Amino acid sequence: MFQGRIVYRFLVGVARCVAPILGTGTGKIARGFKGKLVAHEVLAKWGKEKRDPHRATVWVHAPSVGESIQACAVIEALRARIPRVQVVFTHFSPSAVEFSGRMPVEVFSYLPWDLIRTTGSVLDAVRPDLLIFSKTEVWPVLISEAQKRSIPVALVGGSVPSNAGRLRQPIRSFMRATWQGLTLACAIADDDANRLQSLGVSPEVISVTGDPAVDAVAQRVSAVDVTANHLAPFYSDNRPTVIAGSTWNTDLKRLLVALEIVRTVVGEIRIVIAPHEPSDFGVSNLCERLEKRSWSTRTLKEVESIASVSGVDAVIIDRVGVLPDLYTVGHIGYVGGGFHRAGVHSVIEPAAARLPIIFGPQYRNSSAAIDLLKEGAAKVVTDAEGLADSLLSWLEDTKERSYAANRAFGYIQAHKGAAERTVDALTHLVGP
């Protein structure tokens, strides 16, 4: 796959060259390119000026928010085990910027370009004792350059869905050497461990430790402040509420139709919608769509300003970072992505909030979604009518809803402890 490596480096180099042009806008893609342009400078500056040579240094990379939640749980457990550890955190998506700022790390940045010169210079400046990737995002040049410097490389929260593109050729062959470069791979479940092995990871370095995100989410939900501005109004006006998280337009096409059906049957119902990308335009457009359907609609910011949801049928979440909290005010959770090629988003947050969960047919990217279906804690739907039926069954039958909710919460309780198990496997790689 020598030619494949040449093509890869060429394409990354082209992306680096056009980044100044693509980074001139204000959209998500533009912000990402703009951040990557200076990432190597941010990290190299920290390494040269602020790195303490007498403390262990760990570089953790997670592409977006979901993986960052996994990584954060591992980082917190690692800090508890090794209090003086220095953590460098990188991400790939603009969605993770705000979350990164709240993580217990010394420095955070976008991931530098995966080019030999750029990556090598950052590694030489940061000098990590351990490089950690979250879920399945591994970068060929970064791992190769780490190997040259005898830096161990670990994967945490490793998950490979059965339909993952990386399992298919030619990506599988191209990435095999990269997967073989892992010193340790912590898989979420046995199926993930088997697929990691098929990708090229040596079976001797694979451990099944669970999903660290479960620990992070469970801790957050247990610490929710019901008096917070974004939560208190819902507790004072408790009508049947559906929390729809991380929705794409493909979700909304079914969801809005289903809600119309539900409303004709049960009367009062409230929907709280968190768009996957809560841009100003997207939020405004969604508010207009709901108002045209005669739903009294407010943004979360407006709800906070008046401290009330009285008379409000629909609330649109207009910022990131609050969705896990808002699941706690719901009766049913709908998780978006299941009608999108990307697959369903995290089902852990609503499960931790003790909600029964509904999602679309593209869910096999999530081992938790598969497990929750088996547990009777979730339902999968294929169209608006099926979604309406599922909502109505749980809204009208409180006993059935309570059973599903308890099964969801039980799943979370049974899967806690993954962060500690992961750190158990990692600690010997960090060094003294």
Closest CA to 9 of 139, 158, 138: 139
Residues 353 and 248 in one domain: yes
Q: Which residues pair with 145 in a beta bridge?
A: none
Asked, for residue 216, whether it belongs to a domain, the answer is no
Cβ partners under 8 Å of residue 145, min gap 6: 116, 119, 120, 123
Q: What is the pLDDT of residue 24?
A: 66
Q: What is the 3-state secondary structure (H, E, C) of 118-174?
A: HHHHHHHHHCCCEEEEECCCCCHHHHHHHHHCCCCEEEEEECCCCCCHHHCCCHHHH
Residues 121 and 240 in one domain: no
Domain count across the chain: 2
Q: What is the pLDDT of residue 22?
A: 60
Residues 137 and 264 in one domain: no
**Cα–Cα distance for residue pair 340/324, rounded to 1 Å:** 21
Q: What is the pLDDT of residue 432?
A: 64
Residues 341 and 233 in one domain: yes
Asked, for residue 357, whether it belongs to a domain, the answer is yes
Within 140-296, strands assigned E span 153-158, 184-187, 206-208, 241-247, 270-275
- This prediction has a pTM of 0.89
CATH of the domain at 322: 3.40.50.2000
Q: What is the pLDDT of residue 25?
A: 62
Asked, for residue 215, whether it belongs to a domain, the answer is no
Q: What is the pLDDT of residue 222?
A: 92
Residues 401 and 424 in one domain: no
**Cα–Cα distance for residue pair 76/56, rounded to 1 Å:** 15
pLDDT under 70 in the chain at which residues? 1-4, 19, 22-29, 432
**Cα–Cα distance for residue pair 71/259, rounded to 1 Å:** 36
Structure tokens at 201: 């990871």
Q: What is the pLDDT of residue 377?
A: 98
Residues 398 and 423 in one domain: no
Residues 410 and 304 in one domain: yes
165: number of CA atoms within 13 Å, CB side?
Answer: 6
CATH of the domain at 39: 3.40.50.11720
- Looking at residue 321, what DSSP letter applies? S
Asked, for residue 321, whether it belongs to a domain, the answer is yes
**Cα–Cα distance for residue pair 321/323, rounded to 1 Å:** 6
Per DSSP, the three-state class of 110 is strand
Residues 165 and 195 in one domain: yes
Please, what is the angle between helix 2-22 and helix 171-180, to 10°? 90
Q: What is the pLDDT of residue 223?
A: 93
CB contact burial 294-332 (16+ within 10 A = b; e otherwise)? ebebbbbebbbeeebbeebbbbbbbebeebbbbbbbbbb
Expressed as residue numbers, the domain containing 121 is: 2-210+418-430
Q: Which residues pair with 107 in a beta bridge?
A: 88
Residues 204 and 229 in one domain: no
Residues 319 and 202 in one domain: no
In degrees and rounded to multiples of 5, residue 380 shows phi and psi of -105, 135
Residues 31 and 118 in one domain: yes
Asked, for residue 197, whether it belongs to a domain, the answer is yes
- C-beta atoms surrounding 207 within 10 Å: 15
Residues 138 and 278 in one domain: no
Asked, for residue 339, whether it belongs to a domain, the answer is yes
